[in-house]
Amino acid sequence: MIDHDGHDLARRLESAFVDLLELIADRRAAPWSVSASPNEVATEALAMLPAEFNPVLLHSNPGPTHVFCTRDGSLTGLIDFGDSYLSHPAMDLHRWPDPADRLALREGYLGDATATHDFDAAWTAAMIHTDMTVMATRPELAAAAQVDLTVRLT
């Protein structure tokens, strides 16, 4: 699977947002407390995606269960490459539920480089999806995700 450009990436994220919006609608126990509706937030996120980018090889789900680090944070291993594909790097970096972890991953990925406008746009759209997912599924991290989402929407 390859996301060749922003259109392919938008189609991938749109599909993910459809599933997420259904989940949010079904979960009445976790009230939506952002001023914009979930549909409006998803539409805004999709609209910000860049038209072009250079796809890179992604793991597809490099969350905490697939990444191994030492106590000081040095990477020692990464497992389970069965669902790898080519797309925008933000699609791998957004898998972590804690916003602080995602920011640390972003800093590590960029190193000393400055993020381009297009990188930031794709990053923000992916983070919006993750924040919404965390708000709907991870009550222990929902408050942090809501703060992160609110900042991204301003």
Q: Where are the domains of the chain?
A: 6-152
pLDDT at 17 over 90: yes
CA distances from 14 to 7, 9, 43 (A): 10, 8, 9
Mean pLDDT of 14-18: 95
Mean pLDDT of 125-145: 93
pLDDT at 135 over 90: yes
As a whole number, the mean pLDDT across the chain is 89
Contact 122, 88 (CB under 8 A): yes
- Please tell me the distance from the alpha carbon of residue 29 to that of residue 23, in angstroms, as a whole number: 11
pLDDT tier at 22, thresholds 50, 70, 90: very high
Query: Which amino acid does the sequence have at 22?
Result: E
Mean pLDDT of 121-145: 93
The pTM of this model reads: 0.86
Q: Which tokens belong to 46?
A: 């999709």
> What pLDDT, on the 0 to 100 scale, is given for residue 44?
95
